[in-house]
Chains A and B, each alone.
Chain A
Amino acid sequence: QSVLTQPPSASGTPGQRVSISCSGSSSNIGNNVVFWYQQLPGAAPRLLIFRDDQRPSEVPDRFSGSKSGTSASLALSGLRSEDEATYYCSVWDDRLSAWLFGEGTKLTVL
């Protein structure tokens, strides 16, 4: 069981907005910046969000991140079929001195 908790699944219809949560603790999310990754089937992960809410230049602004206390969220607006993927949150843990990943949330576009 991961130290970072994500819902196993999420879904939405094209054009909708969906949100994925990531819950941690004071030794990780509460004290360090959060990252989000997208993994399409059969592909390596791809960075979506860094430093809680910043997007690399190549990531569209449909993706946004936020953090409050020991929880973080990834939001996708204007949902598209190509957004079907598994999404992972990630953060450094000060107590474990290790990078952590959430269990992953599989997003289905209905």
Chain B
Amino acid sequence: QVQLVQSGAEVKTPGSSVKVSCRSSGGTSRRHAISWVRQAPGQGLEWMGAIIPFSETADYAQKFQGRVTLTADESTTTVYMALIGLGAADTAIYYCAENNPSLRNAFHVWGQGTMVTVS
């Protein structure tokens, strides 16, 4: 059973940066993309970007270009999401999710979410 386990909550000051991790276990393929989706308090879901850990190829939503960087560590089956230039609008729960090609790249397995507070 594939599982994604994320790092713990963070509190950051405006202008700083944050790095959230997402460790996979249970035999997921490193060729499956891992996406990052965020959710501001009381708001909807917003896709930030995705990375294929095997090749470290990443794509980013235009809104986050230049501010977010996705990386992968093969040795620990962990993906990282780094966001710079934090502002109050970045306060949100950040989720990682596996895009399953067998399900037409649906976000099938989700991490538990990481709360990032900018204050």
A residues bordering B, Cβ < 8 Å? 2, 33, 35, 37, 39, 44-47, 50-51, 54, 56, 88, 90, 92, 96-104
From residue 15 to 66 of chain B, which have CB atoms closer than 8 A to chain A?
Answer: 35, 37, 44-47, 50, 59, 61-62
Establish whether residues B62 and A102, one from each chain, have CB atoms under 8 Å apart when the complex forms.
no
Complex: how many Å from CA A54 to CA B107? 14
Contact B103 A101 (CB under 8 A): no
Interface centre among B35, B46, B47 (most CB of A within 10 A): B47
On B, residues with C-beta under 8 Å from A are 35, 37, 44-47, 50, 59, 61-62, 95, 97, 103-108, 110-113
Interface of chain B: mostly helix, strand, loop or mixed: strand
> Are B106 and A35 in contact, CB atoms less than 8 angstroms apart?
yes
Q: How far is the CB of B66 from chain A (nearest CB, A)?
A: 15
Q: Are B103 and A44 in contact (CB under 8 A)?
A: no
Q: Answer whether A50 and B103 are a contact pair too, CB < 8 Å, given A2-B44, A103-B44.
A: yes
User: In the docked arrangement, what's the CA distance between A46 and B95, Å?
Assistant: 12
| B111 contact set on A, CB distance < 8 A | 44
Are B112 and A44 in contact, CB atoms less than 8 angstroms apart?
A: yes
A34 and chain B: residue at smallest CB distance: B104
Q: How far is the CB of A30 from chain B (nearest CB, A)?
A: 16
Question: Which among B44, B103, B108 is the interface contact of A88 at CB below 8 angstroms?
Answer: B44
A83 to B45 CA separation, bound complex (whole angstroms):
19
B95 to chain A, nearest CB (A): 6
A101 touches which one: B46, B105, B113 (CB < 8 A)?
A: B46
Residues from chain B with a CB closer than 8 A to the CB of A98 are 47, 61-62
Q: How far does the alpha carbon of A46 sit from the alpha carbon of B37 in the complex, in Å?
A: 13
Give 12 A-B pairs besides A44-B112, A92-B105, A101-B44 with Cβ atoms closer than 8 angstroms. Answer: A33-B104, A37-B45, A37-B107, A44-B95, A44-B110, A45-B97, A45-B110, A54-B103, A88-B45, A96-B62, A99-B37, A104-B45
A99 contact set on B, CB distance < 8 A: 35, 37, 47, 50, 61
